Structure formats: C-alpha cells, structure tokens
Amino acid sequence: MSRGTVVITGASSGLGAEMARQFAALGYDLGLCARRTDRLDELRTEILGAHPERTISVKQLDVVEDAAVFTVFDEFAREFGTIDRVVVNAGLGKGAPLGTGRHDANRQTATVNFLAALTQTEAAMTIFRAQGHGHLVMISSISALRGMPKTLTTYAATKAGVAALAEGLRAEAIPGVDVSVIYPGYIRSEMNDRIKHEPKLMVDTETGVRAMVAAIEKRRPKAYVPTWPWLPLGYALRVLPTPLARKLL
C-alpha cells in the first residue's frame, strides 16, 4: 500500500536520487524527472529491485523549459491520480565573482535555481489548489542565510529567493497545502564533487539526505539539516557581523 506520491525534480543524481531511494523505502510512489533519462532508468531499476511493490514513473525534463514543466507535472498527476508532495530540487552550482567575465555562468545559475524553481512552484501549486491538498518542498541552501562572496554570490542569492518563495506561500495559508523550505548544509553530492578543499563539516549523501527526509516527513516549515551543527550555525550566520559569518563557511 502506498503512502502517497512524491514528485522530485533533478532526481537523476545526488540529493534528488538519494531522496528517491529513501522516500521509496518509506512507502511512497515516485514521479522522477531530470534531463538524464538514462540515469533515471537506472535509478528506477535499482529502487524497484529493493522495493518491487512501489510504482515509479520517470520522465525527461529540463526545468528551464517552462511549458515542459507544466506538461510533465500534469502527466504525473494524471498517471497517479494525485500528487501528494513535490520536491523542487533541480539546481545548478555554477558561479563566478561578479564582474570577472563569467556572466554566462551566473545567469545560467540564476535561471535554473530561481526562475525554473518559480515555474516548478507554479505548476505544483496549480495542481495542489485544484486537489485541495499537497506538500510543496523547496530545497534551498545554508548559503541562503547571508550574502556570500566570490563564486557563491549568485548561487546564494538564488537560494535566498527560493526560500522567500516558500515563505510567501506559507503566509498565504492556502487550505490543505503545507510548504517546507530545507536548508542543507554541506552534504556530499555530484554538485560539490569538484571542490578542491572539502569543508570540515561535510557529511555523506545518505546521512545528509536522511536528515532532509526526516524534516520533510514532519512537514516542518523550515529546517537546517543536518540539525547538528547547522541549526546553531544557521542562527549564528543570521546575526554575526559579515567578517565573522564568512569564517563559518
């Protein structure tokens, strides 16, 4: 018996793929979408091998294509009859210091991380309003809590925008709809595999995502994950002077 249906964007690798594994283990059916369908097919085969009772639908989706986002979300809704949760997870980690000739990288990051997140939110909320229920989950970042320097400037700004979208929707208090924003700390994923100097507080993907899934299951309005050390560090980041806050990350 299914506990409901979870749609995850950017599900072909990293945090998205691991969320799919863990939600399936909890009893959810899955709608998985990403650009790389070969990886989605492999993930579907892997999950069904461990949980053959689950129903998993996979679809190709580039989240910067607005019309495709609405089409794919609607197809999932028709296939499953209802969508209980949408995880807006697709993201990009590119970036360069502003004014150094890489406007292309910064613009691409802003387009994927914020404008595409807005489109996914529109598509999810259209379905949730029609259903009268749903759980929207926005994946932000601990870097969203303060303006970040150099290569993180644009990325952090986009993730702050994602958090603001979630907060605005919560303020609307739409009947039957819960909204959560998750602020992951340093969790190993494909996005950060190329980091030259690994942060001291990095945790493995499974551990980090387990904390994310636990917060999502509790439908917490916002969560810094893993709770230790990111709950106290998140508070510190918000209140410390910029030079001190910069030393924490």
> Are 76 and 59 contacting, i.e. CB atoms less than 8 angstroms apart?
yes
Distance of CA 130 to the CA centre of its chain: 23
Which domains does the chain show, CATH number per domain? Answer: 5-248 (3.40.50.720)
Segment among 16-25, 185-194, 212-221, 224-233 with least mean pLDDT: 185-194
> Are 120 and 90 contacting, i.e. CB atoms less than 8 angstroms apart?
yes
Q: What is the mean pLDDT of residues 189-193?
A: 60
What's the CA gap between 19 and 3, in Å, rounded?
Answer: 15
Q: How does pLDDT run across 80-100, given as a tens digit for each residue?
A: 999 999 999 999 988 899 999
Active site residue 186: no
User: What pLDDT sits at residue 66?
Assistant: 97
pTM tops 0.75, yes or no:
yes
Out of 155, 183, 186, 224, pick the active-site residue. Answer: 155
Segment among 110-114, 127-131, 198-202 with least mean pLDDT: 198-202
Q: How does pLDDT run across 135-183, given as a tens digit for each residue?
A: 999 999 998 988 887 888 999 999 999 999 999 999 999 999 999 999 9
Task: Quote the mean pLDDT of the chain.
Answer: 92
